[in-house]
A and B are shown apart, each in its own frame.
Chain A
Amino acid sequence: MTHAVQLVGLHKSFGDLEVLKGIDFTVEPGQVVCVIGPSGSGKSTLLRCVNLLEQPTAGQVFVGGAELTHIDVDIDAARRKLGMVFQQFNLFGHLSALDNVTIAQRRVLKRGKRAAAEVAMRNLEKVGVADKAKQYPAQLSGGQQQRVAIARALSMDPAVMLFDEPTSALDPELVGDVLSVMRQLADEGMTMLVVTHEMQFAREVADVVLFMDEGVVVEQGAPARVIGNPQHERTKMFLHRVLNPTHADEAAAPS
């Protein structure tokens, strides 16, 4: 069986700063993999290397068996298999919600106007913002913007969805709407790689949780094990801080 995503010996440096120090893991079709870890540990960089928004310094990225890091790859075509959702939504400010969702369908997939709009409305409905189709991003709440962004990515029929802290920029009362959309996607069998600080979500939805620190995967496994019963000291410390934010000082000083 081909893996949905496979990373082999992935390294990434920014100048002298080595951010990813050899990452190996796989995501199987239909799996939800959550990446957790402290700020600055390289989670975003990892995700951005998967769709080559960052060029890895060394190592290979395979998506659906095809190597994205191959030097002759058509990266624009390869990226179509990967949908990405950003922390800051990144909706196109000059386009209505509907046009945000149709523009890449039309320009990249060359779908007709009506076909693209149909796909768009189906996905906007799915994420619960169909009634906002005519609105511009500035007129939408953060939670609505993020759901439009998810619809935009889904409309390209990706094989894998990448989420980089999709709820971190949201007001607390809006987080639930976005998480429930993601939960629904997971239930429908979408393959997802999710960087998140939402431990509850990781625990309930993820098939695999992956704890990263200082550019390496420290431990990975079922959420019950990684979150419920972590083996490594660094994982324990991180979880202690995240799960008891008001008692952070009780843990040992961060390394």
Chain B
Amino acid sequence: MTTNGTVAEAGPAPRARLSPRKRKKISLAIQYAVFAVVIAVVVLIADWKSIQHVFLNVDEAKKAFPGIITVGLKNTIIYTVSGYVLGFFLGLVVALMRLSDVMPYRAVALIYIEIFRGLPAIVVFMILGFGVPIAFEGFEMPHDPYGTVALALGLVSAAYLAETFRAGIQAVPRGQAEAARSLGMSQGRATFSIIIPQAIRIVIPPLTNELILLFKDSSLVFVIGFTLSGYELFKFGESLSTQTGNSTPMILAGFFYLCLTVPLGYVVRKLEAKQKRGRV
């Protein structure tokens, strides 16, 4: 909204009534004033008593502890990290298949990526949670619910991670592979010792971003269905909130998500800035 004056720098230009500098000052003052007014209005007309009672209720908050940490936060971290580790390696394999010379590998990788990137995560979780036990009767995932959740989150994140890895691998200059081959390394050796380590370094910021997204997606695994001890942050907060009709546990759950995601976002920005500097 800043109005940059366009008065010519030289010559007897028609003088504006206000200098550009003054105009900019006035414009800024107006913007601050509007901001202050909006805040004031919100503060004045909001029902602070009710808001505090429903969203920031200390008594309700107390009931959420320590479970929200020892169960909710703990499970969110276990689910997400295990899903991410699985997705990381599966994604790397899918990326290599996507870039393979063997046509069927490329086709399988492409279909995999399109399906799991295209489906809402919650659909995948539903199918895994309900469909698989029925389809493969008697088959039990090890360490349930952790096994099923890790598999569900891993399958979904692998599709995104595969595309990230592919971009990274393709960003490694061709000369790197040629230098490796000219030293007598086989194609596979060059890929694992030279290409992939550099590709991963290139894509560390988007990889971290995908970890953030997976922390949020892990809130959907409740549809797989499990008992209280398996609740993650969202389900934990949600069940307390519905029991009591008070939203404070949900606010707490949200707070803990931010405790995980905001520092990671900060790390991503730092890494990106570092990479930018490195390239100059």
Binding site for B on A (CB under 8 A): 51, 53, 76-77, 79-80, 82-84, 86, 88, 90-94, 103-104, 107-109, 138, 149, 152-153, 156
B198 touches A79 (CB 8 A): no
A104 touches B197 (CB 8 A): no
21 of the cross-chain contacts (CB-CB < 8 Å) are A53-B182, A77-B184, A80-B183, A83-B182, A86-B178, A86-B179, A90-B175, A91-B179, A92-B176, A92-B180, A92-B194, A93-B176, A94-B201, A103-B193, A104-B185, A107-B193, A108-B183, A108-B184, A108-B189, A109-B184, A153-B182
B278 within 8 A of A: yes
Per a CB cutoff under 8 Å, which of B175, B198, B278 touches A86?
A: B175
CA distance in complex: A153, B184 (Å): 10
For A83, the chain B residues whose CB sits under 8 A away are 182
Contacts A77-B184, A104-B185 given; does A53 touch B178 at CB 8 Å: yes
CA distance in complex: A93, B197 (Å): 10
For A94, the chain B residues whose CB sits under 8 A away are 197-198, 201
For A76, the chain B residues whose CB sits under 8 A away are 181, 184-186
For A80, the chain B residues whose CB sits under 8 A away are 183-184
Contacts A92-B176, A94-B198 given; does A79 touch B189 at CB 8 Å: no
For B189, the chain A residues whose CB sits under 8 A away are 107-108
For B175, the chain A residues whose CB sits under 8 A away are 86, 88, 90
CA distance in complex: A90, B197 (Å): 15
CA distance in complex: A138, B176 (Å): 14
B183 touches A152 (CB 8 A): yes
B198 touches A92 (CB 8 A): yes
| Interface hub of A51, A86, A90, A149 (most chain B Cβ within 10 A) | A90
Binding site for A on B (CB under 8 A): 173, 175-176, 178-186, 189, 193-194, 197-198, 201, 278
Chain A nearest Cβ from B81, distance in angstroms: 25
A90 touches B176 (CB 8 A): yes
Chain B nearest Cβ from A147, distance in angstroms: 15
For B173, the chain A residues whose CB sits under 8 A away are 88, 90
For B193, the chain A residues whose CB sits under 8 A away are 103, 107
For B184, the chain A residues whose CB sits under 8 A away are 76-77, 79-80, 104, 108-109, 156
Contacts A103-B193, A108-B189, A138-B278 given; does A90 touch B183 at CB 8 Å: no
Chain A nearest Cβ from B46, distance in angstroms: 54
For B181, the chain A residues whose CB sits under 8 A away are 53, 76, 79
B183 touches A153 (CB 8 A): yes
B183 touches A156 (CB 8 A): yes
CA distance in complex: A149, B178 (Å): 13
A82 touches B179 (CB 8 A): no
CA distance in complex: A80, B184 (Å): 5
B185 touches A84 (CB 8 A): no
Given contacts A88-B173, A94-B198, A103-B194, list 11 more A-B pairs with CB under 8 A.
A51-B182, A53-B181, A79-B181, A79-B182, A79-B184, A86-B178, A93-B198, A94-B197, A138-B278, A153-B182, A156-B183
